[in-house]
Structure formats: structure tokens, C-alpha cells
Amino acid sequence: MLIAAERLLLRIRQVPSRADELLALRRRVRAEHAVVPGDEERATAKAIRELKIAISAELAAVTSCHTCSTGKPWPRGAYAGGDCCSGVTADVFDDDEVAALAQAGTRPRDLNAPRGEHPGCAFRGPHGCTLSAADRPGLCVHYVCEKLRGELHSREELVPVEDRLAELDRLMMQFVALRKDRLERAQLGELEAALVNR
């Protein structure tokens, strides 16, 4: 009943394309909450979350991102900033990212989108991303374009940020390996059970 009400509200409040993307993503997050990961997998997801928050805080004062898409064609140029946010929501929130977010505590209700045009990711709005840093995929935190690299370099902040991003990559690769191992063990268990029950 709650999911039907959520669907109806989104259909009323959002343009259809954004509503569809939000519903699909929230459904995937709900499914991940039904999974029981191992302790190391969950701890790695939480470490990823904390590092994303720290990196986002380090990048909070940058100015490059506020005007990077000015003059570009739609959807990239729909807003002055956020050129890197004009991608497709499902591509940004791949299965590993959704799993890491859910295991670190992101809930479907944390995924709130702006109203109005839908130029790219469902969470891209005229004032930037509507998600907290903790609820964004690692890709969003990790994306450092040439313009941003130049700004960070001029401020002598590029090397420390790149070091943190390398650590984020390492943690995400660790999480992906742990998740893959869990999924493979589950599939093997299902296969063994099917063979026993033949």
C-alpha cells in the first residue's frame, strides 16, 4: 500500500521520466535492504560513506562546478553548473553503488529529487544535487573534471584530494570483491539445493 501511494505521489509531483527513475532506484534500494551482507562488507560500505562525506567537505569551497555547464546544449546546459550530473540515473547508481549505499544506511526516503525539468540525473536541480554527500554514489564524489583539477591545483589541494580519491577507489574495489564473493556463494548454495532436491 505504501509503495502504491509513493508511486502516485511521485507521478503527481514529478515529470514522468524523473518519477520513473526515482521509483526504480528506490525499489532497488529496498531490495538491497533485504540482503544480509557479511560484517566486512557492511563495514567497508560504511567506510566508503565516511570517506565520501570527508571528500565532499574538502570540495565544498570550489567554484568550478557552479558554472561548468553554462552555454552547453540541453541537458548539460539546463543549469549553470553540474555538467557531470547530466548522465542517466541508472548508470550512475549501478548495482554495486546501490548495494554500498543501502548497506551504509541510505534508505529509499533519503532519495529526494527536485521538481521541474529532468536534465540528467534525477537528483540534479537548479541549485545542485538534492542528495547529501552520504547518499550520493562514489562516482559523483569522485568525478574531478579538468576545470576542477585546475582549480584544486592552483589552491595546492589537488594532491591531497587525489590521495583521498585513490583511497575511495580502493575501498570500492574491496566492497565489489566482497559483494561478488557473497553473491557467488549464494548462487552456489542455490545450485546445490536444486541438485539435492531433484
**Helix boundaries (H) for 127-157:** 138-142, 146-154
C-alpha 144/C-alpha 70 separation (Å) is 17
CA terminus-to-terminus distance, the chain:
38
pLDDT in tens, 24-36: 999 999 999 999 9
Residue 96 phi, psi dihedral angles, 5° rounding: -65, -40
Are the CB atoms for 21 and 122 separated by under 8 Å?
Answer: yes
Which helix (DSSP H) or strand (DSSP E) does residue 191 occupy? helix 158-196
pLDDT at 1 over 80: no
Confidence of residue 196 (pLDDT cuts 50, 70, 90): confident
Over residues 11-28, mean pLDDT: 87
Q: Is the pLDDT of residue 139 over 90?
A: no
- List all residues 6 or more positions away from 176 whose beta carbon is below 8 Å from its beta carbon: 96
Closest CA to 102 of 149, 37, 16: 37
Phi, psi of 146 (to 5 degrees): -60, -40
For 165, residues 6+ apart whose C-beta sits below 8 A from its C-beta are 55, 142, 144
pLDDT value of position 193:
80
Confidence of residue 10 (pLDDT cuts 50, 70, 90): low
